[in-house]
Amino acid sequence: MARPARRTIRALGAMSGTSLDGVDAAVVVTDGTTIETFGATAYRPYTDAERAVLRAGLGAWPDDPRAAAAAEVVETAHAEVLATMIARDPGIEVVGFHGQTLAHDPRGRGTHQAGDGAVLAEALDRTVVWDFRSADVRLGGEGAPLAPVFHWACARGMGTDAPLAFLNLGGVGNLTFIDPRPADPQDAGALLAFDTGPANAPLDDLVQARLGLPRDDGGALAAAGTPDDGIIAAFLSHPYFARRPPKSLDRDAFPDLSRAVATLSDADAAATLAAAAAAAVARGLDLCPGPPRRLMVTGGGRRNPTLMAMIADLSGLPVAPVEAAGLDGDMLEAQAFAYLAVRVMHGLPTSFPGTTGVPTPIAGGQISRAGNRAGVRRR
């Protein structure tokens, strides 16, 4: 039986990741299954003062005053960049708003993304889909990662018929294993996704604390150092790596790793943190149903050639930035939340047993419409 046709919607997605660098925004035209086209993109960096507020809010839950301060920063920054994009493209109908993850404890207190979609709906005079993770967590899922169904759509659009994997190297690394042959992401074997381990966050925090720099540009510092094999072996002994996926992590889930490199030189510490991130990816690939044909890398880590070379060496796979497939690695997550917003509007699942461990596919997220601050919760 043919699936019913769904209306194509022009959607605007926004993402503020664990690297705390700024807000990515991107337009996607889609019916929630097939990507018709990608549209304009924009980036609004956080100021140093804003970033300090967000860093102070890491680990805060909604009842913490630090969370309210962080939410104000998130809402203000998003409203600025999204309003500009809507003014340039009035055909945008819906906004997918992820917010800023401050705390993620799916087996405990839940998950918390700062920022109120109802506030943005009023500011932008557009429908806003937000709070994508909470329903998944309430039903027993990990609440992350959420981009896999978008990765599946990208793989289908690429026309490939061989299994491949998307690796997002943000603050935390996450892996999506895709078999593009099934016609629906709910089909058995189509998707497997999980967080691999820390990626950029420990390295960014190290160079910020020691050198006052936001990142290890070009991986130059890590390239000049020597990884400490003992620290990496201890890191890999963490029980997380033996857990079967789906599974997810908080940005600061491995504090022992950062403490372990405290006595190393700047270069050796950076090299050790990069090698640990690469080793975590290799362990993650071992949990996939089979080796993917290639590894497509998105997120800021793809610009670190030292880290990319370490991953290629440990995995034995062709490793390339997603730009090699005609995608935009800077905007892939923002595009994902535009795509997810349309899926929620159409009542399509956004997370699956194979991606978050939720017992059944669900369409998570709240829908807030301009003039209706209460919003509508989708389950």
In the chain, what are the domains? 9-145+330-377 (3.30.420.40), 160-325 (3.30.420.40)
β-pair type (172-178, 127-130): unpaired
What lies within 8 Å, CB to CB, of 344 at 6+ separation is 129, 132, 350, 363, 364, 365, 367, 378
Q: Model's pTM, two decimal places?
A: 0.89
**Burial label, 244 (beta-carbon count in 10 A; 0-12, 13-18, 19+):** exposed
Cα dist from 153 to 45, 184, 305, 339, 358, whole Å: 28, 9, 27, 9, 20
* pLDDT by residue, tens only, the chain of 379 residues: 445 679 999 999 999 987 788 999 999 999 999 999 999 999 999 999 999 999 999 999 999 999 999 999 999 999 999 999 999 999 999 999 999 999 999 989 999 999 999 999 999 999 999 999 999 999 999 998 899 999 999 999 988 889 999 999 988 999 999 998 888 999 988 999 999 999 999 999 999 999 999 899 999 999 999 999 999 999 999 999 999 998 888 888 899 999 999 999 999 999 999 999 999 999 999 999 999 999 999 989 999 999 999 999 999 999 999 999 999 999 999 999 999 999 999 999 999 999 999 999 999 999 999 987 544 433 3
Helix (H, G, I), strand (E, B) or coil at 173: strand
